[in-house]
Amino acid sequence: MKLNLQDIPRIKTISKEDYKKWPALKYAQGYVTEFNHGEAHYIYRKNIGI
């Protein structure tokens, strides 16, 4: 299942501060949909990964 970035609302570029708070964001490849209770719900650029 492929997912276009345009299909997801509220996409936010990950900052260096975000990486410090949530080291797992390195797997998000630069984009995250939202932050929820300290967990990152992120998508991959090529395929979806939640």
* Per-residue model confidence (pLDDT) at position 14: 61
**Residue ranges of the chain with per-residue pLDDT less than 70:** 1-15, 18-19, 22-50
CA triple 38-29-33, angle to 5 deg: 45
The domain segmentation of the chain, as residue ranges, is 5-42
Q: What is the CA radius of gyration of the chain?
A: 10
DSSP 1-50: ----GGGSSS-EEPPHHHHHH-GGGGGGTTEEEEEETTEEEE--SSS---
* Per-residue model confidence (pLDDT) at position 17: 75
CA 1 to each of CA 20, 28, 35, 38, 45: distance values in angstroms, whole numbers, following the listed order: 30, 17, 23, 26, 12
Does the pTM of the predicted model rise above 0.85?
A: no
